[in-house]
Structures are given as structure tokens and as C-alpha cells.
Structure 1
């Protein structure tokens, strides 16, 4: 039997954007960090400077990429962009608030709120497809760095999928855990299996509150 080496993963959500404040679904629209998000990224970079990282990966959407650049500035590691770390593609729901989605898509909103794994808004990924993409991407990157520590800078929905993979939580289950902007979340990966170490560390942000897109009902933030 081959020798197993565990990969330590620091899964990080991007800093705040104006659309986080507005609870507007970002999906794969390329929304930049706001001033507070850039401050959060700088604080994150300072905290990550002590981590012994072998590699730094990020979604190629600018809110994640720019957050990762702050980490790069402190660690000296290049940011390796990976489209597999992008937020869920929400199709026709992208760019709308929860209230706007309910008003404009009354026939679909209930399935979305209930986290139907096979529901597909026009032009979107299903939740099941998205979850598989996130798990496959994180596994691929972890396998490439067996026995090392890597950082993955991504999105709330991506972190939600990794949390579920590590805890065995069903896709349909309501979310009860936090996905704070610029939070550090620690996982292990061994032979294709994720396990949880610690979740939702925002101590590097001192007493500043982190936004968790209030009003999303536990669905996938951006």
C-alpha cells in the first residue's frame, strides 16, 4: 500500500466587495474588492506571512486574485490562478439581490432556497455540479503538494463546498456556519478525503466584523 502524506489546506475567502454589502449575487461576474476588502486583504497577508506555504492558488476572478496578491506580497509566493476555484456560475440570477430574484423568478426561487442539488437557473451550474468541481479542484491541488501546506483563495460558495466535503454535510442541508470575508479555514486532505481542523478564523481582522451576506438563507454567497 502506498505511503500516505497529508496536505494541509488553508482555504480563504476573498475580501469584501460592494456587492457583498448589497447582498447581491456575484457568481462569476468579476467584481472588485471595496476599500474595506482591500484592508482585509492586507491584514490577511500580514497574518499569512508566518505560514510555511508551498504554494498559493486563487480563483482568477479579481476579488480572489487581488486578495491572494496581498498574501503573495508577504510570502513571496506567486499567485497561481485556477478557474476551478471560481464561484458557482449562477446564470440569470447573477447581479441580483435575493429580493430581486424572488420577484423576477417566482417559479424558481423556492427550489433555490431549498438547495435543490439539481436545480439549474438558466445559464447556471447545478449545486451538484458546482460541488463536484470544487472538490475535484481542491483534491487535484492537494495531491500535487502531498505532505505540504497550500493556500486556496476562493469564494464563499467554494468554501461552503469544502466544509461539506470535510464534515459529510449534505448539499441540501441549510448552512449554519460562517463564511466571513478574508477568513482562514484549515482542512486536511489525505488520500482523497477531507477533514476539518478549524473554521472561520478572523482574529487577524481584530474586532472588525466580517460580512456573511445576511439574508441569503444559507445559500451560496460570492
Structure 2
């Protein structure tokens, strides 16, 4: 079982963050962003495995991005834990603007200057055609996770979301700057545990990239 002990401190909230299961576009190295791509067969299998690993855990609530791939991943856990998934647009992936729907290779070939800025993790660079900057995305995710944590101090919750969201969450806890290269995994359907200290306030890493319940899992690509 991959569940952890329920937090005893009434001023802390423990969050199990799960990236959605695999989609066809993950397998194609294609940027999804806000586009609504469902799970593939592997992704559904991963979602069931994640649900089994969380059985017996004490969760006060389940939240998920309102995109289909996150809701489909959350569904088996919600069924097994007897909870209703609460969808939230605030937990969506970063909006990649005109990159959405392109593979990484296609984005690099068609928009080399923008792709270079993306790979360099320029915090203020916003993708053309409605995309978010990394800095704005980080503000959105920090606010969304803090709001959930404050609603559940003294409790443990499950949040099913996206790779970019997990990237920001890890950096909030580890203090790794937005511009720094990623040095931690972000795997489909793995378990990632954070704790929010309401007295700090501060984020703390508890465990990251737990995947022993999975036969295989793809990392978020690339390290950007």
C-alpha cells in the first residue's frame, strides 16, 4: 500500500498529488495543455492501479483538474474511497498557446525562437495565442493548492492533475527556482506527497515519484 499515515497536526494538510494516466498524446510526445485528451488503455490500467494502491487511505476529499484525462484517472480512486471527485479548472495544465497539439519536435521546427525560450524556462515568456507564462502558471497553481490546503487543515486529500502542475508543486516545496532545470521525475499515475504547514505557511516534500504500483510510467517531456 502506498498510503501514508493521516497527519496528526491540525494545522497541516497532506496532499497526494497524482499526474493523470497515460494518453495517446503522451505516447506521441505531443503537447496537450488545455486540450481535452482522454486516457488510452495504458492510462486506464494505471488509474486502476493507483486506486488499488490508495485503498484504505484516509482521504477527506478528492479534487481533480476538470479535463477528461484527470477526471478519468481520479474516477477509480473516488469509487474505491467512496468519495465524489470535485473538478477544478484551476488545476488544469499550463496553457501552451499555439504549441498545443504539436509534438515537441514539431514545435521546435515550426517555432524555433519560441521553443528555445520554452526550453530555457524563461519565467515571463507567454506562449502566443493565449498561452500562459511560467510565472503566471506558478501563481495560479500556488493559489489553487493553498486554497485546498486551507480548506483541509488536519486532513489528507487526493489531487489528480497534470505534469506541469506537479513541476510547480515540487518547486514550491523544494525551493527550486522556476528557471532551474528539472532534476526530479514526473510520472504518469505515480504518487507524490506534499504537506502544507498552515502556521508557516510553507510546503514540505514527504515522498515523491512513488511508482511501485505501476508496471510502467512515462515521464513528463521534456525537462521544461
Normalised by the shorter chain, which TM-score bucket? over 0.9
Q: Which moved more, 1:162-171 or 1:4-13?
A: 4-13
Match of 2:93 in 1: 87
The answer for the alignment partner of 1:186 in structure 2 is: 193
- What secondary structure sits across from 2:113 in the alignment? coil
Measure how far apart 1:107 and its partner are. 2.1
1:203 aligns with 2:203: no
SS in structure 2 of the partner of residue 10 of structure 1 = strand
1:177 and 2:181 matched: no
Correspondences of 1:77-116 after superposition (within 5 Å): 77-116=83-122
Shift, 1:180, TM fit: 0.7
**2:44 aligned with 1:22, yes or no?**
no
Matched, 1:37 2:46: no
**Equivalent-residue separation in structure 1 for 2:53 and 2:193 (angstroms):** 14
Q: 2: distance between equivalents of 1:179 and 1:102?
A: 22
Secondary structure, counterpart of 2:112 in structure 1:
coil
TM-score scaled to structure 1, two decimals? 0.94
Query: What do residues 168-194 of structure 1 show as CA deviations (whole Å, max 9, x unaligned)?
Result: 000000112111100100110012311
Rounded Cα–Cα distance in structure 2 between residues aligned with 1:153 and 1:131:
17
Give the number of equivalent residue pairs.
213
Length-normalised TM-score, structure 2: 0.93
2:4 aligned partner: none
